[in-house]
Chains A and B, each alone.
Chain A
Amino acid sequence: MKVLVAVKRVIDYNVKVRVKPDNTGVDLANVKMAMNPFCEIAVEEAVRLKEKGVASEIVVVSIGPKACQEQIRTALALGADRGIHIETDEEVQSLEAAKLLKAVVEKEEPKLVILGKQSIDSDNNQTGQMLAALTGMGQGTFASEVVVDGEKVNVTREVDGGLMTVALNLPAVVTTDLRLNEPRYASLPNIMKAKKKPLDAMSPADLGVEIAPRLSTLKVEAPASRQAGIKVADVAELVDKLKNEAKVI
């Protein structure tokens, strides 16, 4: 079966994020960018499905500026077969991303679409669910285990009270949580090979989708910073402070 994986280029998760002085956003100039960690997990899961003989082809798609091709190449080096780049310099919000991915789903007809549960920049946690709704597919969000079984997929989900397993008809959408797998690193030979794998570029207009954001960001501020408090000498002082100063016990 064919698996479609969506990946997003975001600020590297180790980078200390700084708000721009004019409060228009976050400073991304000269900042290290990387594949969103949840998307790495999505790619890894697809590659494992291929290694198990469940997936036959892995198509990886990314939406955004030219530079996204770096993340597509990374996914190709990790084991994806073919890339699709939907190129735009405009801000793409979740609903539009879902519409673009829907157009790709209609062309590619994958049996399974795997996405990260959220991107660590906008922290929205929306695109996979929106794609599932627009394409009339079932969804297994926040997945910690994915088992394809004939025409169904069983997805174990990390939920507030613990774990929950659902069975979905295929085709279906899965969004990854942290414990689904541990992504591998790309080897140098595979990075070289990935350069020759096919990568198609297209525009949102080619897919018949208009980019018209519904949300506008009025300002972006740094959070109220917390002041470091004091160091206590021992446990007795700690308990005394909690009881008599902070009055929280």
Chain B
Amino acid sequence: MSILVIAEHDNSSLKQATLNVVAAAKAIGGDIDVLVAGENVGAIAEAAAKAEGVNKVLVADNAAYGHFLAENLGELVAEVGKGYSHILTSAGTTGKDFMPRVAALLDVAQVSDIIRVESADTFVRPIYAGNAIATVKASDSIKVITVRPTGFDPVAAEGGSASVEQLDVVKDAGLSSFVGEEKAKSDRPDLASAGIVISGGRGMQNGENFKMLEQVADLMGAAMGASRAAVDAGFVPNDMQVGQTGKIVAPQLYVAIGISGAIQHLAGMSDSKVIVAINKDEEAPIFQVADYGLVADLFEAVPQFEEELKKVL
């Protein structure tokens, strides 16, 4: 078997999710090549070549891939991937965007968001917002798969010595172009891979109040998250949403503040190792999954939390 992993990156660094996807590829078994497509990605290719278990890194470095437009990436990956038994990428928004195009162009099914590998053709994935776990078997000769990074422990980032090969395949479908982006800038850890996540919900009341959480987050070295209600209300940007339709996180510690615990929110965080909930409603469903629950008004509890943390950290 031969597996092609499409690296996730932002043209400046390799995303950790790529290492989780390589781990999924190892669980399938076989030679693992990594495709790095983007613009000015030499350093990223080198980083990918050092990842444990990688055989070869293929590089498609061209402006056509600079903004990860699905139309162009889809054609590239379908062409490069057709010689492989499996094509894998992370189930981030880039992978979710281009990968189904790859599957359609190859006329094969896609298995989305796998959390476990049972065998080379059988995979486990959550459905119904994680309220059910399905084991599915794929019959196509090429398996196109997106991987939920939290399902697999990452391979080591260092120690490998894969060869690096430049591809000169340029696919510009001419269907789409990049207009602009608004990237939320933050010095905090990446939400998807942070060890600690602090999330606020509708109970925070406004965006200004999130500053309280930011102070706690900075004290703990945590990433910041939010419920859909907090994002919809405009308290915080969309990329902070945790849940069925937002980011899936599984940190060592997840702190939910003023979040009721709707199933769609739980779908994004219930695999966290330790869950803390602070909510004034003792009936809030979040307490059913919390290891430590505190029934309290968050406007009193959060400043106290900060003070107590300062004593021990």
User: Taking CB as reference atom, which chain B residue is nearest A228?
Assistant: B288
Of B35-43, B152-160, B175-183, the one contacting chain A is B175-183
Residue contact B109 to A239, C-beta cutoff 8 Å: no
CB distance from A143 to the nearest CB of B (A): 12
What 19 new A-B contacts, CB under 8 Å, besides A215-B109, A220-B134? A26-B131, A94-B109, A117-B245, A125-B96, A131-B104, A142-B97, A159-B181, A160-B239, A161-B10, A161-B181, A163-B238, A164-B182, A216-B136, A217-B135, A223-B131, A231-B294, A238-B308, A248-B274, A249-B220
Q: Is B127 an interface residue (CB 8 A)?
A: yes
CB atoms of A160 and B139 under 8 A apart = no
Cβ A239 vs Cβ B112 within 8 A: no
Given A219-B135, A223-B131 in contact, is the A141-B97 Cβ separation under 8 Å? yes
Q: How many residues of A contact B (CB 8 A)?
A: 80
Query: B residues bordering A, Cβ < 8 Å?
Result: 10, 67, 69-71, 74, 92-94, 96-105, 107-113, 122, 126-140, 173-184, 192, 196, 220, 228, 231-232, 237-239, 244-245, 247, 252-253, 263-264, 270, 273-276, 282, 287-296, 301, 304-305, 308-309, 311-313
User: Shortest distance in angstroms between A21's beta carbon and chain B's nearest beta carbon?
Assistant: 13
Instruction: Report the Cα distance A221→B118, complex, angstroms.
Output: 15
Q: Are B175 and A169 in contact (CB under 8 A)?
A: yes
Q: Out of B98, B127, B232, which one reaches A122, CB within 8 Å?
A: B127
Q: Is the CB of A242 within 8 A of B238?
A: no
Q: Are B237 and A162 in contact (CB under 8 A)?
A: yes
CB pair A220–B133 under 8 Å, yes or no, is yes
Q: Which of A121, A136, A159, A231 has the most CB of B within 10 A?
A: A159
Given contacts A129-B97, A220-B132, is CB(A163)–CB(B182) below 8 Å?
Answer: yes
Task: Kindly state the separation between the CA atoms of A226 and B273 in the bound complex, as whole angstroms.
Answer: 10
The answer on a CB contact under 8 Å between B134 and A141 is no
B-contact 0/1 string along A9-25, CB 8 Å cutoff: 00101001101000000
- B238 CB to nearest A CB, Å: 5
| CB atoms of A243 and B312 under 8 A apart | yes
Q: What is the CB-to-nearest-CB distance from A125 to chain B, in angstroms, rounded to a whole number?
A: 5
Q: What CA separation (Å) do A234 and B292 show in the bound complex?
A: 11
Give the complex CA separation of A4 and B102 in angstroms. 23
The chain B residue sitting closest to A166, CB to CB, is: B176
Q: A161-B184, A166-B179, A214-B140 are in contact. Are A93 and B109 (CB under 8 A)?
A: yes
Q: Is the CB of B134 within 8 A of A229?
A: no
Please tell me which one of the listed residues A26, A128, A226, A239 contacts residue B270 in the complex, with CB atoms under 8 A apart.
A226
Complex contacts, B111 vs chain A, CB 8 Å? 215
List, sorted by A's number, 7 A–B pairs whose CB atoms are closer than 8 Å. A124-B110, A134-B104, A222-B131, A223-B133, A228-B287, A235-B296, A238-B308
Q: Are A246 and B291 in contact (CB under 8 A)?
A: yes
Chain B residues whose CB sits within 8 angstroms of the CB of A137 once the complex forms: 175
Instruction: Verify B135–A178 contact, CB threshold 8 A.
Output: no
Tell which of A17, A223, A230 has the most Cβ of chain B within 10 Å.
Answer: A223
Determine how close the nearest CB of chain A comes to the CB of B293; give it in whole angstroms. 5
> A121-B128, A141-B70, A162-B238 are known contacts. Are A167 and B177 too (CB-CB below 8 A)?
yes
